[in-house]
């Protein structure tokens, strides 16, 4: 249930106006980023050319943006990982770059590499809630439910009112067989955010697993009616699967 939302790699502010950069370099980065939106293939070619002519970190990052836009996620991740290891990158940008690399690895379906990149990000920015959640997603991809639970618990120690993280932890705990703890997380998430669609989807899965198909349908129908992105889509998919199940044979 813990799925990474596909997001485009973000522009890093430090590269928008590189320290000590000449006006032409600043313009190149801005122009390169703008070109990514218009023509990602042209932007990727331009960034590579700029990099061979001394474009440095700004050129590498724009190249990663273009590769991501082209859905060449593994290549983007490699560029971002390499850039994050540049000794001239400060700790805050290093954490962001490794986090972006992890996101790209996730989009490439490579959970192991993603988890490693997120771990590098956490080394640069310890206890960052967003990065802990990101690594939990990667660990879930690897079915490392215990690791996912550990990361989400660490994040929730810093902010106990994150309904989204409670739902994710419930998913991990359910997979670990900690059903009561999982149910408690769902109850808490719905206290914080009544009718929260992801919580309803997860609670519906729990009810279905317990044999309460009517209760599952009710939760999924409410989540589907919300129209809220991935949760609504998942709810509709579960309802369709429920509808496709063989009907019990009744007596004559």
**DSSP code, position 75:** H
Q: Which of the residue ranges 15-24, 154-163, 188-197, 243-252 would you say has the lowest mean pLDDT?
A: 15-24
- Whole-model pTM: value is 0.85
Do 166 and 185 touch, CB atoms closer than 8 A? Answer: yes
Write the Ramachandran bin of 21: left for phi over 0, alpha for psi from -120 to 50, otherwise beta: beta
What's the whole-number mean pLDDT along residues 121-144? 96
Q: Which pLDDT score is estimated for 25? A: 60
Do 238 and 207 touch, CB atoms closer than 8 A? Answer: no
Closest CA to 102 of 141, 127, 131, 123: 131
What are the start-end ranges of the H helices in 53-109?
Answer: 56-69, 73-84, 91-107
Q: For the structural domain made of 8-126, what CATH number should be given?
A: 1.25.40.10
Secondary structure (3-state) at 249: coil
pLDDT-derived band at 4, boundaries 50, 70, 90 = very low
Pick the more confident residue, 22 or 48.
Answer: 48
Q: Per-domain residue ranges for the chain? A: 8-126, 129-189, 195-244
Name the residue with tokens 């939760």: 219
> Which sign does the torsion angle of CA 135, 232, 162, 65 carry?
positive
Candidates 1.25.40.10, 3.30.499.10, 3.10.20.30, 1.10.3720.10; correct CATH number of 129-189? 1.25.40.10
CA distance 16 to 30: 6
Q: Is the pLDDT of residue 19 over 60?
A: no
Two domains, one topology: 8-126 and 129-189: yes
Tens digit of each residue's pLDDT (9 = 90 or more) over 52-72 = 888 888 899 999 999 999 999
Query: What's the mean pLDDT when you consider all of the chain?
Result: 90
């Amino acid at each position: 249930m813990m799925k990474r939302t596909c997001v485009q790699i973000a522009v890093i502010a430090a590269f928008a106006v590189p320290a000590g950069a000449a006006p032409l370099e600043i313009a190149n980065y801005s122009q390169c980023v703008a070109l990514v939106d218009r023509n990602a293939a042209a932007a990727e070619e331009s960034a590579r050319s700029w990099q061979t002519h001394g474009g440095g970190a700004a050129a590498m990052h724009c190249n990663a943006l273009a590769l991501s836009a082209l859905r060449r996620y593994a290549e983007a991740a490699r560029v971002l990982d390499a850039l994050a290891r540049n000794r001239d990158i400060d700790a805050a940008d290093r954490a962001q770059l490794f986090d972006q690399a992890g996101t790209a690895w996730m989009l490439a379906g490579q959970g192991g590499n993603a988890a490693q990149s997120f771990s590098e990000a956490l080394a640069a920015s310890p206890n960052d809630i967003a990065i802990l959640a990101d690594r939990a997603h990667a660990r879930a991809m690897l079915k490392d439910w215990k690791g996912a639970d550990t990361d989400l618990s660490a994040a929730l120690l810093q902010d106990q009112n994150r309904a989204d993280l409670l739902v994710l932890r419930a998913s991990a705990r359910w997979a670990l067989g900690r059903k009561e703890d999982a149910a408690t997380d769902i109850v808490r998430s719905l206290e914080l955010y009544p009718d929260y669609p992801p919580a309803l989807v997860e609670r519906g899965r729990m009810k279905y697993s317990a044999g309460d198909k009517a209760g599952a349908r009710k939760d999924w129908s409410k989540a589907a009616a919300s129209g809220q992105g991935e949760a609504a889509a998942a709810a509709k998919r579960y309802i369709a699967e429920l509808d496709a199940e063989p009907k019990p044979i009744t007596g004559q």
